[in-house]
Amino acid sequence: MRILAALIAGLLAATPALAGDLAVSLKTSSGKPVTDAVVMVTPQGGSPAPRSAGSYRMAQQGMQFQPFVLIVPVGADVAFPNFDPVLHHVYSFSAAKPFELKLYGRDQSRRVRFDKAGVVAVGCNIHDAMSAFIRVVDTAHAVKTDAAGAAVLAGLPAGPAILTVWHPYLKGARNETVRTIAIPAAGVARQALVVDLRAPPMRHGPY
């Protein structure tokens, strides 16, 4: 009996908090998958602090920023290495983090700390066609949609949650769409969203 009680106590201790997964599918109204959207979930019971450890990078390579959309937690340091044989001058006017990295060349890098949640539009003062976005998040549950417009967040706390989907060109207030969802105690919740995108701003090329 004592052994059984110990076994049950052990099992209870090993049982994780109820958690479910969320699978999001994002398409335009004409059925095209939307890639590079940021899918964020904030559980109603509060969200664990995102991990700001780790290395985050927005490179300048092939006269473009790589990646086009980068997700980082609040407090993250992001490196901006230049791999091009020309000088770049990286800047942002966004309220979440205005910054300026004056002209620097190949194999040099600079660092910026992003200490406030929000959207940071990044550009190059020399090359107008270079454009990228950093989404600074205050939830640990954030991921980008892939080429098929799909994103999966695993191990979300069960219960009501706010789902936010953001894309730099999404038509809508703040370029995002928000809905309340329910995360199941086990298994997968599926959300299919339809959004429309604006045409990307005119590219100015050639470089």
Instruction: Tell me how far, at minimum, the Cβ of 86 lies from Cu ion, in Å.
Output: 7
Strand extents, DSSP E, the chain: 19-28, 38-43, 56-57, 59-61, 64-66, 69-73, 76-79, 88-92, 99-104, 111-114, 118-124, 131-137, 142-144, 150-157, 159-166, 176-183, 188-195
Please state, in angstroms and rounded to a whole number, the distance separating the CA atoms of residues 49 and 28: 32
Instruction: Tell me how far, at minimum, the Cβ of 56 lies from Cu ion, in Å.
Output: 20
Q: Which is nearer to Cu ion, 104 or 169 (CB)?
A: 104
Q: Which is nearer to Cu ion, 23 or 63 (CB)?
A: 63
Interface residues with Cu ion (CB under 5 A)? 88, 124, 126-127
Amino acid letter, 159: G
Instruction: Tell me how far, at minimum, the Cβ of 198 lies from Cu ion, in Å.
Output: 24
Instruction: Tell me how far, at minimum, the Cβ of 128 lies from Cu ion, in Å.
Output: 9
Instruction: Tell me how far, at minimum, the Cβ of 116 lies from Cu ion, in Å.
Output: 25
Please state, in angstroms and rounded to a whole number, the distance separating the CA atoms of residues 109 and 116: 22
Q: Which is nearer to Cu ion, 127 or 141 (CB)?
A: 127
Please state, in angstroms and rounded to a whole number, the distance separating the CA atoms of residues 205 and 58: 21
Q: Which is nearer to Cu ion, 124 or 142 (CB)?
A: 124
Closest CA to 133 of 116, 150, 119: 119
Eight-state DSSP code of residue 180 = E
Q: Which is nearer to Cu ion, 44 or 61 (CB)?
A: 61
